[in-house]
Structure formats: structure tokens, C-alpha cells
Amino acid sequence: MEIRPFEAGDEARKLRVQRELFLVGRQSGRVVAAVMAGYDGHRGSVNYLAVDPQYRRRGYGAMLMRRIEELLAARDSANADVLAFYQRLGYAADDVVALGKRLIPD
Ligand SMILES: CC(C)(COP(=O)(O)OP(=O)(O)OC[C@H]1O[C@@H](n2cnc3c(N)ncnc32)[C@H](O)[C@@H]1OP(=O)(O)O)[C@@H](O)C(=O)NCCC(=O)NCCS
């Protein structure tokens, strides 16, 4: 599978913000996998990851995750968690599963 950055003509998302964090995997020219991520200056998040059902269990999902991890790890990391501050402003934990992985060991 060949991994490329987002190109016009793919699904028209993320055109204006961090489009370099939207990758698609192509097999014989056809999009068979995709991942979309974001970086807020401190944390990276993977919002979408999908592999065409016909192409699953071939390592493509893992390939895309490794590439997106490289792109996220290459970005600057700064700032500390300020949970109490956000709680004070009315933020609370959402009822979603969030999985984390530290890419920069500091
Ligand atoms: C989840 C998904 C992206 C995995 O893609 P994939 O290309 O099939 O995954 P890979 O082949 O790279 O698998 C990587 C490893 O995970 C394992 N794995 C993959 N799917 C698995 C599953 N459903 N259950 C358990 N293990 C699984 C593989 O066996 C492999 O293990 P290994 O490294 O020990 O060999 C794919 O199943 C998918 O698109 N699912 C639907 C969309 C979705 O749920 N996306 C996640 C949104 S958060």
C-alpha cells in the first residue's frame, strides 16, 4: 500500500486545517484506507482511522498509525495539563473512550 498526503479529489474534509494530517492509503490507485488527525499544540489526536473491509488484516491500519505518529511526534510539544482550569470553565469529560500513547518521552 502506498501512503500519500491528502490530495484534492479525495473526500473533501480537512481542506483548510492541518490537511497534512489527513492521509490516505492507495492500492493500485484506489483509496483503501484513511486516517485523519489533529494537533492542538500539546496533544495529537486521531479522529478517524478506517481500512476498507476487503483490505483489513494486512497491516495497513498499523502502517497508517505509524505514519501519523511520526508526523505528530515531529511537531513541537509544550504546555502542561490544566484540568482544574478547564473544569472551572465548564469543561467535563465526555462519555467517549480515549486511548493515549506518549510519543515523546519527557
Ligand atoms: C480498526 C482497523 C482500522 C484495523 O485496520 P487493519 O488494517 O485491519 O489493521 P492491521 O492489519 O494493521 O492490524 C494491526 C494489528 O491489529 C490486529 N487487529 C486488527 N483488527 C483487529 C480486530 N478487529 N481485533 C483484534 N485485533 C485486530 C491485527 O491482527 C494486527 O496484529 P499484529 O500486529 O499482532 O499482527 C479496521 O478494522 C477498520 O477500519 N475498522 C472499522 C473502522 C474503525 O473502527 N476505526 C477505528 C476508529 S477509532
pLDDT digit string, tens, across residues 58-88:
999 999 998 988 888 887 544 435 556 556 6
Write down the pTM of the prediction: 0.76
What residues does ligand 1 touch, defined as CB less than 6 Å away?
Answer: 49-51, 56-62
Q: What is the pLDDT of residue 51?
A: 94
The matching CATH number, chosen from 3.30.70.141, 3.40.630.30, 3.40.190.10, 3.20.20.70, for 10-88 is 3.40.630.30
Structural element, H or E, at residue 37 = strand 30-39
**Domain range list for the chain:** 10-88
Nearest CA to ligand 1 atom 44: 50
Residue nearest to atom 10 of ligand 1 (CA): 59
Q: What is the CA radius of gyration of the chain?
A: 16
Say if residue 6's pLDDT is above 60.
yes
Q: Which atom of ligand 1 is nearest to the CA of 64?
A: 12
CA distances from 103 to 22, 25, 34 (A): 19, 22, 21
The average pLDDT across 45-58 equals 91
Q: What is the pLDDT of residue 57?
A: 94
What is the tens place of the pLDDT at every residue in 21-39?
A: 889 899 998 999 998 888 8
